Amino acid sequence: MTLPMFIGDNRGLIARAASPAILAPRVSFEFFPPKTPEMEATLWQAIRRLEPLNPAFVSVTYGAGGGTRERTHRTVKRILDETSLQPAAHLTCVGAARQDVDAVIADYWTAGVRNIVALRGDPPGGVGGAYAPRADGYASATELTAAIHRIAPFEVMVGVYPEKHPESPSLDHDIDVLKAKIDAGAKVGISQFFFDIDAFLRFHERVRKAGVTIPIVPGIMPVTNFKGLVKMAAACEAAVPAWLAHLFEGLDDDAETRRLLAGAVAVELCAKLKGEGFDNFHFYTLNRADLVYAICLVLGLREFAV
Ligand code: FAD
Protein backbone atom coordinates (compact mmCIF):
# COMPACT_ATOMS: atom_id res chain seq x y z
CA MET A 1 0.00 0.00 0.00
CA THR A 2 1.24 3.47 -0.84
CA LEU A 3 -0.96 5.42 1.56
CA PRO A 4 1.81 7.71 2.83
CA MET A 5 1.94 9.35 -0.60
CA PHE A 6 -1.46 10.86 0.12
CA ILE A 7 -1.17 11.39 3.80
CA GLY A 8 2.11 13.24 3.44
CA ASP A 9 1.53 15.01 0.16
CA ASN A 10 -2.02 16.09 -0.50
CA ARG A 11 -1.40 19.74 -1.29
CA GLY A 12 -2.30 19.40 -4.94
CA LEU A 13 -5.76 18.05 -4.23
CA ILE A 14 -6.41 20.47 -1.38
CA ALA A 15 -5.29 23.51 -3.34
CA ARG A 16 -7.45 22.54 -6.28
CA ALA A 17 -10.42 22.07 -4.00
CA ALA A 18 -10.76 25.87 -3.92
CA SER A 19 -11.33 26.02 -7.66
CA PRO A 20 -14.84 25.60 -9.06
CA ALA A 21 -13.54 25.05 -12.62
CA ILE A 22 -15.29 22.11 -14.25
CA LEU A 23 -12.34 21.46 -16.54
CA ALA A 24 -10.00 20.76 -13.65
CA PRO A 25 -12.04 18.28 -11.61
CA ARG A 26 -10.55 16.90 -8.43
CA VAL A 27 -13.07 14.22 -7.74
CA SER A 28 -16.45 13.67 -9.28
CA PHE A 29 -19.19 11.25 -8.34
CA GLU A 30 -21.46 9.26 -10.60
CA PHE A 31 -24.96 8.26 -9.51
CA PHE A 32 -27.79 6.43 -11.23
CA PRO A 33 -31.41 7.65 -11.14
CA PRO A 34 -33.43 5.80 -8.49
CA LYS A 35 -36.38 3.57 -9.37
CA THR A 36 -38.20 3.45 -6.05
CA PRO A 37 -38.76 5.82 -3.11
CA GLU A 38 -36.39 3.67 -1.01
CA MET A 39 -33.67 3.93 -3.65
CA GLU A 40 -34.29 7.64 -3.85
CA ALA A 41 -33.77 7.97 -0.10
CA THR A 42 -30.48 6.02 -0.36
CA LEU A 43 -29.31 8.20 -3.24
CA TRP A 44 -30.06 11.39 -1.37
CA GLN A 45 -28.26 10.19 1.73
CA ALA A 46 -25.26 9.55 -0.52
CA ILE A 47 -25.50 12.96 -2.19
CA ARG A 48 -25.76 14.76 1.15
CA ARG A 49 -22.82 12.82 2.58
CA LEU A 50 -20.56 13.53 -0.41
CA GLU A 51 -21.63 17.13 -1.06
CA PRO A 52 -19.30 18.73 1.53
CA LEU A 53 -16.32 17.18 -0.27
CA ASN A 54 -16.89 19.84 -2.94
CA PRO A 55 -16.66 17.59 -6.00
CA ALA A 56 -16.01 19.19 -9.37
CA PHE A 57 -19.36 17.78 -10.51
CA VAL A 58 -21.75 14.94 -9.85
CA SER A 59 -23.15 13.04 -12.80
CA VAL A 60 -26.39 11.13 -13.24
CA THR A 61 -26.57 8.25 -15.70
CA TYR A 62 -29.14 7.89 -18.48
CA GLY A 63 -30.59 4.64 -19.80
CA ALA A 64 -29.65 3.71 -23.35
CA GLY A 65 -32.73 4.41 -25.45
CA GLY A 66 -33.91 7.04 -22.99
CA GLY A 67 -35.45 4.56 -20.53
CA THR A 68 -34.58 6.77 -17.56
CA ARG A 69 -35.24 10.10 -19.27
CA GLU A 70 -37.72 11.40 -16.68
CA ARG A 71 -35.88 10.00 -13.68
CA THR A 72 -32.51 11.31 -14.82
CA HIS A 73 -34.01 14.73 -15.50
CA ARG A 74 -35.77 14.81 -12.12
CA THR A 75 -32.63 13.82 -10.27
CA VAL A 76 -30.46 16.35 -12.09
CA LYS A 77 -33.04 19.09 -11.50
CA ARG A 78 -33.28 18.27 -7.80
CA ILE A 79 -29.49 18.41 -7.49
CA LEU A 80 -29.59 21.85 -9.11
CA ASP A 81 -32.43 23.08 -6.96
CA GLU A 82 -31.49 21.66 -3.58
CA THR A 83 -27.72 21.38 -3.42
CA SER A 84 -24.59 23.40 -4.04
CA LEU A 85 -23.40 20.75 -6.51
CA GLN A 86 -22.74 21.13 -10.22
CA PRO A 87 -24.72 18.35 -11.95
CA ALA A 88 -23.62 16.75 -15.20
CA ALA A 89 -26.40 14.92 -17.01
CA HIS A 90 -25.46 11.79 -18.94
CA LEU A 91 -27.23 11.62 -22.27
CA THR A 92 -27.34 8.76 -24.76
CA CYS A 93 -28.58 8.80 -28.33
CA VAL A 94 -29.02 5.11 -29.21
CA GLY A 95 -32.59 4.25 -30.17
CA ALA A 96 -33.81 7.85 -30.00
CA ALA A 97 -34.97 10.23 -32.73
CA ARG A 98 -32.83 13.34 -33.19
CA GLN A 99 -35.73 15.63 -32.33
CA ASP A 100 -36.34 13.84 -29.02
CA VAL A 101 -32.68 14.04 -28.07
CA ASP A 102 -32.62 17.72 -29.05
CA ALA A 103 -35.63 18.34 -26.81
CA VAL A 104 -33.84 16.75 -23.84
CA ILE A 105 -30.75 18.89 -24.50
CA ALA A 106 -32.83 22.07 -24.72
CA ASP A 107 -34.73 21.16 -21.54
CA TYR A 108 -31.47 20.73 -19.67
CA TRP A 109 -30.21 24.12 -20.79
CA THR A 110 -33.47 25.78 -19.78
CA ALA A 111 -33.32 24.06 -16.40
CA GLY A 112 -29.84 25.51 -15.81
CA VAL A 113 -27.73 22.40 -16.52
CA ARG A 114 -24.40 23.31 -18.10
CA ASN A 115 -22.56 19.97 -18.21
CA ILE A 116 -23.42 16.88 -20.22
CA VAL A 117 -21.69 13.50 -20.44
CA ALA A 118 -22.42 12.63 -24.09
CA LEU A 119 -22.61 8.92 -24.86
CA ARG A 120 -23.84 6.77 -27.66
CA GLY A 121 -25.35 4.19 -25.29
CA ASP A 122 -25.14 0.43 -25.50
CA PRO A 123 -26.98 -1.57 -28.16
CA PRO A 124 -30.56 -2.55 -27.21
CA GLY A 125 -29.41 -6.15 -26.59
CA GLY A 126 -26.85 -4.93 -24.02
CA VAL A 127 -23.10 -4.38 -24.06
CA GLY A 128 -21.43 -6.30 -26.88
CA GLY A 129 -24.66 -6.73 -28.87
CA ALA A 130 -24.97 -5.57 -32.46
CA TYR A 131 -25.36 -1.82 -32.80
CA ALA A 132 -27.40 -0.22 -35.54
CA PRO A 133 -28.07 3.51 -35.45
CA ARG A 134 -31.64 4.70 -35.96
CA ALA A 135 -32.12 6.29 -39.35
CA ASP A 136 -33.54 9.43 -37.77
CA GLY A 137 -31.16 9.40 -34.79
CA TYR A 138 -27.61 10.46 -33.94
CA ALA A 139 -25.31 7.56 -34.79
CA SER A 140 -22.52 8.14 -32.28
CA ALA A 141 -21.31 10.18 -29.35
CA THR A 142 -19.48 12.34 -31.90
CA GLU A 143 -22.73 13.30 -33.62
CA LEU A 144 -24.40 13.78 -30.23
CA THR A 145 -21.60 16.07 -29.03
CA ALA A 146 -21.91 18.20 -32.17
CA ALA A 147 -25.69 18.38 -31.70
CA ILE A 148 -25.32 19.49 -28.08
CA HIS A 149 -23.04 22.33 -29.15
CA ARG A 150 -25.44 23.36 -31.90
CA ILE A 151 -28.15 23.77 -29.27
CA ALA A 152 -26.26 25.50 -26.45
CA PRO A 153 -22.71 26.05 -25.18
CA PHE A 154 -22.60 23.13 -22.73
CA GLU A 155 -19.36 21.70 -21.34
CA VAL A 156 -19.34 18.22 -22.86
CA MET A 157 -17.55 15.21 -21.41
CA VAL A 158 -17.27 11.85 -23.17
CA GLY A 159 -16.41 8.24 -22.39
CA VAL A 160 -12.98 6.70 -23.08
CA TYR A 161 -11.94 3.05 -22.92
CA PRO A 162 -8.43 2.27 -21.65
CA GLU A 163 -8.82 -1.40 -22.56
CA LYS A 164 -10.61 -0.73 -25.88
CA HIS A 165 -14.32 -0.41 -26.47
CA PRO A 166 -15.78 -3.92 -27.05
CA GLU A 167 -17.02 -2.95 -30.53
CA SER A 168 -13.81 -1.31 -31.60
CA PRO A 169 -11.33 -3.08 -33.89
CA SER A 170 -8.35 -1.49 -32.10
CA LEU A 171 -7.22 1.04 -29.53
CA ASP A 172 -6.03 3.25 -32.38
CA HIS A 173 -9.54 3.27 -33.76
CA ASP A 174 -10.87 4.23 -30.32
CA ILE A 175 -8.37 7.08 -30.18
CA ASP A 176 -9.49 8.27 -33.63
CA VAL A 177 -13.07 8.22 -32.33
CA LEU A 178 -11.98 10.20 -29.25
CA LYS A 179 -10.30 12.77 -31.50
CA ALA A 180 -13.49 13.08 -33.52
CA LYS A 181 -15.42 13.66 -30.29
CA ILE A 182 -12.93 16.37 -29.31
CA ASP A 183 -13.24 17.99 -32.75
CA ALA A 184 -16.99 18.01 -32.13
CA GLY A 185 -16.43 19.88 -28.86
CA ALA A 186 -15.72 17.35 -26.06
CA LYS A 187 -13.60 18.88 -23.31
CA VAL A 188 -12.98 15.99 -20.88
CA GLY A 189 -12.71 12.20 -21.28
CA ILE A 190 -13.92 10.01 -18.42
CA SER A 191 -12.63 6.48 -18.47
CA GLN A 192 -14.42 3.20 -18.18
CA PHE A 193 -13.51 1.51 -14.88
CA PHE A 194 -10.32 -0.55 -14.91
CA PHE A 195 -8.05 -2.44 -12.51
CA ASP A 196 -5.06 -2.96 -14.78
CA ILE A 197 -3.23 0.26 -14.09
CA ASP A 198 -0.52 -0.46 -16.66
CA ALA A 199 -3.17 -0.79 -19.35
CA PHE A 200 -4.59 2.59 -18.32
CA LEU A 201 -1.17 4.24 -18.35
CA ARG A 202 -0.30 2.75 -21.76
CA PHE A 203 -3.63 4.00 -23.11
CA HIS A 204 -3.04 7.46 -21.67
CA GLU A 205 0.42 7.62 -23.22
CA ARG A 206 -0.96 6.60 -26.63
CA VAL A 207 -3.70 9.20 -26.34
CA ARG A 208 -1.15 11.92 -25.58
CA LYS A 209 1.15 10.73 -28.39
CA ALA A 210 -1.81 11.01 -30.73
CA GLY A 211 -2.00 14.70 -29.86
CA VAL A 212 -4.96 14.60 -27.48
CA THR A 213 -4.56 17.24 -24.78
CA ILE A 214 -7.91 17.23 -22.97
CA PRO A 215 -7.98 15.81 -19.40
CA ILE A 216 -8.51 12.05 -19.27
CA VAL A 217 -10.06 11.31 -15.89
CA PRO A 218 -9.65 7.79 -14.51
CA GLY A 219 -12.99 6.15 -13.63
CA ILE A 220 -12.68 4.40 -10.27
CA MET A 221 -15.06 1.60 -9.31
CA PRO A 222 -14.77 0.45 -5.69
CA VAL A 223 -15.62 -3.27 -5.83
CA THR A 224 -17.78 -4.65 -3.07
CA ASN A 225 -19.69 -7.21 -5.14
CA PHE A 226 -16.92 -9.16 -6.81
CA LYS A 227 -19.22 -11.59 -8.63
CA GLY A 228 -21.19 -8.67 -10.07
CA LEU A 229 -17.98 -6.99 -11.12
CA VAL A 230 -16.79 -10.08 -13.00
CA LYS A 231 -20.01 -10.07 -15.05
CA MET A 232 -19.84 -6.35 -15.74
CA ALA A 233 -16.15 -6.47 -16.61
CA ALA A 234 -16.72 -9.37 -19.03
CA ALA A 235 -19.37 -7.35 -20.85
CA CYS A 236 -17.15 -4.26 -21.02
CA GLU A 237 -14.04 -6.33 -21.76
CA ALA A 238 -12.25 -4.77 -18.79
CA ALA A 239 -9.59 -7.09 -17.36
CA VAL A 240 -10.06 -8.47 -13.87
CA PRO A 241 -6.48 -9.17 -12.77
CA ALA A 242 -5.67 -12.48 -11.07
CA TRP A 243 -4.52 -10.63 -7.92
CA LEU A 244 -7.98 -9.07 -7.57
CA ALA A 245 -9.74 -12.42 -7.97
CA HIS A 246 -7.36 -13.92 -5.44
CA LEU A 247 -8.04 -11.10 -2.98
CA PHE A 248 -11.80 -11.70 -3.03
CA GLU A 249 -11.55 -15.49 -3.05
CA GLY A 250 -13.69 -17.18 -0.38
CA LEU A 251 -15.34 -13.90 0.69
CA ASP A 252 -18.74 -14.38 -0.93
CA ASP A 253 -20.42 -14.49 2.48
CA ASP A 254 -18.25 -11.83 4.11
CA ALA A 255 -19.59 -8.49 2.97
CA GLU A 256 -17.71 -6.51 5.61
CA THR A 257 -14.28 -7.77 4.58
CA ARG A 258 -15.17 -7.21 0.92
CA ARG A 259 -16.01 -3.59 1.73
CA LEU A 260 -12.71 -3.07 3.52
CA LEU A 261 -10.85 -4.60 0.60
CA ALA A 262 -12.80 -2.48 -1.86
CA GLY A 263 -11.63 0.66 -0.08
CA ALA A 264 -8.03 -0.53 0.09
CA VAL A 265 -7.94 -1.50 -3.60
CA ALA A 266 -9.46 1.82 -4.71
CA VAL A 267 -7.07 3.81 -2.51
CA GLU A 268 -4.10 1.92 -3.88
CA LEU A 269 -5.27 2.46 -7.46
CA CYS A 270 -5.67 6.20 -6.85
CA ALA A 271 -2.33 6.38 -5.04
CA LYS A 272 -0.53 4.75 -7.96
CA LEU A 273 -2.24 7.08 -10.41
CA LYS A 274 -1.39 10.06 -8.22
CA GLY A 275 2.22 8.91 -8.37
CA GLU A 276 1.93 9.01 -12.16
CA GLY A 277 0.67 12.59 -12.07
CA PHE A 278 -3.12 12.08 -12.05
CA ASP A 279 -5.11 13.98 -9.47
CA ASN A 280 -8.60 13.90 -10.92
CA PHE A 281 -10.77 10.90 -10.17
CA HIS A 282 -14.29 10.01 -11.21
CA PHE A 283 -15.97 7.60 -8.79
CA TYR A 284 -18.68 5.16 -9.81
CA THR A 285 -20.53 5.39 -6.47
CA LEU A 286 -23.42 2.98 -7.20
CA ASN A 287 -25.38 5.47 -5.07
CA ARG A 288 -23.52 4.51 -1.88
CA ALA A 289 -21.52 7.15 -0.08
CA ASP A 290 -19.62 5.63 2.80
CA LEU A 291 -16.89 3.82 0.91
CA VAL A 292 -16.25 6.62 -1.58
CA TYR A 293 -16.35 9.16 1.26
CA ALA A 294 -13.66 7.26 3.16
CA ILE A 295 -11.53 6.87 0.02
CA CYS A 296 -11.77 10.62 -0.61
CA LEU A 297 -10.65 11.39 2.93
CA VAL A 298 -7.57 9.26 2.37
CA LEU A 299 -6.98 11.16 -0.86
CA GLY A 300 -6.72 14.31 1.24
CA LEU A 301 -10.17 15.80 0.66
CA ARG A 302 -11.84 17.41 3.62
CA GLU A 303 -15.30 18.79 4.15
CA PHE A 304 -16.22 22.30 3.09
CA ALA A 305 -19.17 24.15 4.60
CA VAL A 306 -22.12 23.73 2.25
P1 FAD B 1 -18.85 6.32 -29.26
O2 FAD B 1 -17.80 7.22 -28.71
O3 FAD B 1 -19.82 6.90 -30.20
O4 FAD B 1 -18.25 5.06 -29.85
C5 FAD B 1 -17.94 3.86 -29.16
C6 FAD B 1 -17.18 2.95 -30.14
O7 FAD B 1 -17.98 2.73 -31.30
C8 FAD B 1 -15.91 3.54 -30.66
O9 FAD B 1 -14.84 3.38 -29.79
C10 FAD B 1 -15.77 2.83 -31.97
O11 FAD B 1 -15.25 1.58 -31.75
C12 FAD B 1 -17.17 2.77 -32.44
N13 FAD B 1 -17.44 3.96 -33.29
C14 FAD B 1 -17.96 5.14 -32.93
N15 FAD B 1 -18.04 6.00 -33.96
C16 FAD B 1 -17.57 5.34 -35.03
C17 FAD B 1 -17.40 5.67 -36.39
N18 FAD B 1 -17.74 6.88 -36.88
N19 FAD B 1 -16.90 4.73 -37.20
C20 FAD B 1 -16.57 3.51 -36.72
N21 FAD B 1 -16.70 3.14 -35.44
C22 FAD B 1 -17.20 4.03 -34.60
N23 FAD B 1 -24.24 4.09 -21.16
C24 FAD B 1 -25.53 4.42 -20.90
O25 FAD B 1 -26.45 3.83 -21.50
N26 FAD B 1 -25.86 5.40 -20.01
C27 FAD B 1 -24.92 6.09 -19.32
O28 FAD B 1 -25.26 6.98 -18.52
C29 FAD B 1 -23.54 5.77 -19.55
N30 FAD B 1 -22.56 6.41 -18.91
C31 FAD B 1 -21.23 6.12 -19.20
C32 FAD B 1 -20.23 6.85 -18.58
C33 FAD B 1 -18.89 6.62 -18.89
C34 FAD B 1 -17.83 7.43 -18.20
C35 FAD B 1 -18.55 5.62 -19.83
C36 FAD B 1 -17.11 5.33 -20.16
C37 FAD B 1 -19.53 4.87 -20.45
C38 FAD B 1 -20.90 5.11 -20.14
N39 FAD B 1 -21.93 4.41 -20.79
C40 FAD B 1 -23.24 4.73 -20.51
C41 FAD B 1 -21.64 3.30 -21.71
C42 FAD B 1 -21.62 3.76 -23.19
O43 FAD B 1 -22.88 4.18 -23.61
C44 FAD B 1 -21.17 2.54 -24.00
O45 FAD B 1 -19.83 2.22 -23.73
C46 FAD B 1 -21.42 2.62 -25.52
O47 FAD B 1 -21.27 1.32 -26.06
C48 FAD B 1 -20.44 3.53 -26.27
O49 FAD B 1 -20.68 4.82 -25.97
P50 FAD B 1 -19.64 5.98 -26.44
O51 FAD B 1 -20.24 7.24 -26.07
O52 FAD B 1 -18.29 5.66 -25.96
O53 FAD B 1 -19.73 5.76 -27.99
Query: What does the pLDDT read at residue 305?
Result: 67
Give a yes or no: residue 222 inside a domain.
yes
Q: Which of 30, 51, 143, 163 is catalytic?
A: 30
Is 30 annotated as catalytic? yes
The CA 114 to ligand 1 mean position distance, Å, reads: 21
The proportion of the chain whose per-residue pLDDT surpasses 90, expressed as a percent, equals 79
Q: Is 6 within the bounds of a domain? A: no
**Is residue 232 predicted with pLDDT exceeding 60?**
yes
Q: Which domain holds residue 99?
A: 11-298
What single-letter DSSP state applies at residue 29? E
Choice among 38-47, 232-241, 242-251 with the minimum mean pLDDT? 232-241
Residue 65 confidence (pLDDT)? 75
Question: Ligand 1 mean position to 255 CA, how many Å?
Answer: 32
Instruction: Output DSSP code: residue 33.
Output: -
**pLDDT in the model for residue 133:** 86
Give pLDDT, residue 2: 35
Give the count of domains, the chain.
1
Residue 92: CB within 6 Å of ligand 1?
Answer: yes
What is the rounded average pLDDT of the residues 241-254? 96
Query: Contact at 8 Å (CB) between 281 and 9?
Result: no
Atom of ligand 1 nearest to the CA of 123: 47
- 130-184, pLDDT tens digit by residue? 788 899 999 999 999 999 999 999 999 999 999 999 999 999 999 999 999 999 9
Q: What is the pLDDT of residues 257-279, one digit of tens each?
A: 999 999 999 999 999 999 999 98
pLDDT above 70 (res 19): no
The torsion region of residue 121 among left (phi > 0), alpha (psi -120 to 50) and beta comes to left
Enclosing H/E stretch for 205 = helix 197-209
Residue 86 Cα to ligand 1 middle (Å):
23
Is pLDDT above 50 for 228?
yes
Domain containing 212 — which CATH number? Answer: 3.20.20.220
Q: Kindly report the protein residue whose alpha carbon is nearest to atom 49 of ligand 1.
A: 120
Judge if the beta carbon of residue 219 lies within 6 A of ligand 1.
yes
In a domain, 305, yes or no: no
68 C-beta closer than 6 A to ligand 1: no
The answer to whether position 97 is within a domain reads yes
Between the alpha carbon of residue 221 and those of residues 208, 283, 291, the distances in Å are: 24, 6, 11
Does ligand 1 have an atom closer than 6 angstroms to the CB of 270?
no
